[in-house]
Structure 1
């Protein structure tokens, strides 16, 4: 069964080449090829996750038959299985949405699958240098996807993303180099042993931790390292905004957890309290600043982008607290945020196509023009706020409870404050949608009469687009009901990650 692990990376890479080659023979073949590859990827990820959770054990694969620590190792435990499955599921859902919403060019399909390959590789690698390689594959594909927008704004957003993302990746690579100098190994499991042997008081070890986490914090878009994110999300095509908001920062935050627990371990946090304090401070500032900046936005996609800055602060706070309750909350919120935020970006894109509304003011009276999409958007928004029984509530509850158990009172207060701020920027949208008359602002040309109850062919919103948004809203609620089961499935992995 472990032989399936390399296929999680190889299949989307080969699919990317095939989609590009066949797409230039006939452009119509690119989307079906990409869809078939994503279906196969979902089957592979589902099979691997079923094996990991069913047997309660970790799967591994030595690439080329070279055993670690000298060879490259792929490793899947409960956390990485959940992330790999999430990548495959979201990628398929967004691709279904993109069938009508676009882009649909062969180059887009190839870049899309390359991004899936990079994200999957980040999820399953057990080697620090290969984590960097897959991080760069992910970044290059994401930069190109953002630039697929027709406007000059998309090109500027992609360029800014490229420059800042390259700096973040370089800082991360420098941290890996320090770890290698200190230990002579790159395998994560071997690094955990060797770093402890070198000593956590070593300057090289501490510098490695600071640089690797900072580099990944740039990719995760924690405040104040977030500056690439709002314009990249807002300027990209709606399908791309949904994909990168749901997955790119999500997998980068997962990589932070993998570095903290799989490489440096909780013993490092215990031996270097300043590291834990720095992480919690960074997370707390990100939670508050992201929420405040979201409240100040007038463009819906920028509001959602700044919301992600806040939500990933919550996730990293859960990982930094580093007790079982908080880590469960961080992992659950990581998965839940991908579904909720991806669904919100898809809903915002469908609303723009159906009613021409892209700013907060243009959401006035939207429920009368696009009732189904408005209901789905409101459901996802309140799930993000943390209204029970949605996953947003369960993830925040676990993180807050973990903060109380660890007596991290400032973080507990910040979580409560962030919930109120999240309510502020989502409630104003919902209030405009359901309790105000139609906006006097003119919608985009050709969409003034559009509603999500009309003919998809006429209004530019297909049944499939609406179905994907509704599915995201349903999953966000269902995941909340399954929070306890998720915690139980994660138990064997948590015992390994948190052992001291």
Structure 2
């Protein structure tokens, strides 16, 4: 079944090209073609994952018949099988939401599918240079999608994303260049052997690690390398915000973990004290700073963006702890966060379409006006906090357990503090929705032009706080122009909320499937 691996990348690329050509002439066909492509991609990803988990062995494919380390290798094991399915399924769900919300051009769906192709390539490649290539494809597609909003704010957000993202990709490229100079290879498995042969004390090897990790930390949006994320998330169309928040940083964090375990290995973390400390400190700062900045926000999408900074800090900390419990928790939280945060962005967008509310102060009495959406938002929020038995609780529990097992008590304390801060910024929304009465408010259309008292009620958006006197205008990219959300859009959000709860108990089923891969990755 290894011959199916290239199709994980090829199917969305072909779908993107066909959709662009056909959709240019018949625009109404662009979305159906994207859906057919996504359905085929999801079915393919699910089948590949089934083969990996049922067979208990990784699948490997040598592109063009050139065997590694000289050729390009695609690999799917128990770890990235889950990521591939996640990418396909979440992209399909958000595409269903985007049928009515956001841009509808053939170019938009082409960029959408190219992003899925890039993310799939990042997930399955076994070659460092091709990881860089797919990282760039993902970045270019994401920049274009962020810019699809109709107002200038989305263009500014896309430009900032482009500039910072290019720096991150360049740092990553420098890092793999150092690794190539030291070893003469870029195949991940071959690099792991040859880096050990060169010696972990080599300046080239250590510099390579520092540059690669820093570059991927930019893409993951760890603090203080997160500066592109809040504006990109806040200014993009809601469907794009959901897609990027759920998948782009998720796959970047996966790539960081893959490089740590499959290229540098746990032996490097054990032998080079600064390496583990560097990643742990970066992750710990991100966990706390992201949570604090999220508490300071009044615009929901910016609050969710800073929340992601904190949550991905948890995942990266789990990878740095590098024991079974922590890495299991990191993978669970990686998958769970994609479902929870994607659902949260979609819920915020649907609520804005239904009521015009995009700021914390506008959510008073929302449960009476939009009961289903409010219930979904509350469920997703509490799952993100870590209320049992939701997946947010299970992931954090395993990470904290791993930290305690490794005697990393400061990390366990940081996780607890972060959970309390997460409770603070999500609970205020739930409290307003269910325990306050709705105040008289302007119509969404009036607010979207920036007029009226509500347009300046809760502050605007600076880099790290929402305390400006003026709010940004909400163009079509913010999905406020299509009227009330459809039943299909609400259904997608409700499914995300149900999955956020259901995935928690299912971890006990997933853990044995992941165990053989973790045994290989974490063995000294």
* Shared fold, TM over 0.5: yes
| Aligned residues of 1:360 and 1:429 also touching (Cα < 8 A) | yes
Structure 2 portions without partners, runs of 5+: 449-480
Please tell me whether residue 411 in structure 1 is matched to residue 418 in structure 2. no
Match of 1:484 in 2: 508
Distance in 2 between residues matched to 1:442 and 1:227, nearest whole Å: 33
| Aligned residues of 1:127 and 1:186 also touching (Cα < 8 A) | yes
Please tell me whether residue 445 in structure 1 is matched to residue 445 in structure 2. yes
Match of 1:285 in 2: 285
Distance in 2 between residues matched to 1:125 and 1:322, nearest whole Å: 22
Equivalent residues in 2 for 1:59-208 (5 A)? 59-208=59-208
Task: Decide whether aligned partners of structure 1 residues 362 and 56 sit closer, same or farther in structure 2, where only a CA change above 3 A counts.
Answer: same
Distance in 1 between residues matched to 2:439 and 2:269, nearest whole Å: 52
Instruction: Give me the TM-score of the superposition, normalised by structure 2.
Output: 0.93
Match of 1:474 in 2: 498
Q: CA deviation at 1:369?
A: 0.7
* Cα deviations by residue, 1:81-111 (Å, 9 ceiling, x for unpaired): 1000000000000000000112211000000
Instruction: Give me the TM-score of the superposition, normalised by structure 1.
Output: 0.97
Equivalent residues in 2 for 1:66-465 (5 A)? 66-445=66-445, 459-465=483-489
| Aligned residues of 2:222 and 2:286 also touching (Cα < 8 A) | yes
Greater displacement, 307-316 / 477-486: 477-486
| Aligned residues of 1:353 and 1:447 also touching (Cα < 8 A) | no
Secondary structure of the 1:311 match is helix
Structure 1 portions without partners, runs of 5+: 449-456
| Aligned residues of 1:224 and 1:286 also touching (Cα < 8 A) | yes
* Cα deviations by residue, 1:216-263 (Å, 9 ceiling, x for unpaired): 000000000000000000000000000000000000000000100000
Task: Decide whether aligned partners of structure 1 residues 271 and 37 sit closer, same or farther in structure 2, where only a CA change above 3 A counts.
Answer: same
| Aligned residues of 1:447 and 1:459 also touching (Cα < 8 A) | no
Q: CA deviation at 1:55?
A: 1.1
| Aligned residues of 2:189 and 2:262 also touching (Cα < 8 A) | yes
Q: CA deviation at 1:487?
A: 1.2
* Cα deviations by residue, 1:181-238 (Å, 9 ceiling, x for unpaired): 0000000000000000000000000000000000000000000000000000000000
Distance in 2 between residues matched to 1:370 and 1:273, nearest whole Å: 52
Q: CA deviation at 1:458?
A: 8.9
Task: Decide whether aligned partners of structure 1 residues 407 and 427 sit closer, same or farther in structure 2, where only a CA change above 3 A counts.
Answer: same
Distance in 2 between residues matched to 1:336 and 1:163, nearest whole Å: 29
Dislocated runs of 4+, deviation >6 Å: none
Distance in 1 between residues matched to 2:102 and 2:110, nearest whole Å: 14
Give RMSD over aligned pairs. Answer: 1.3
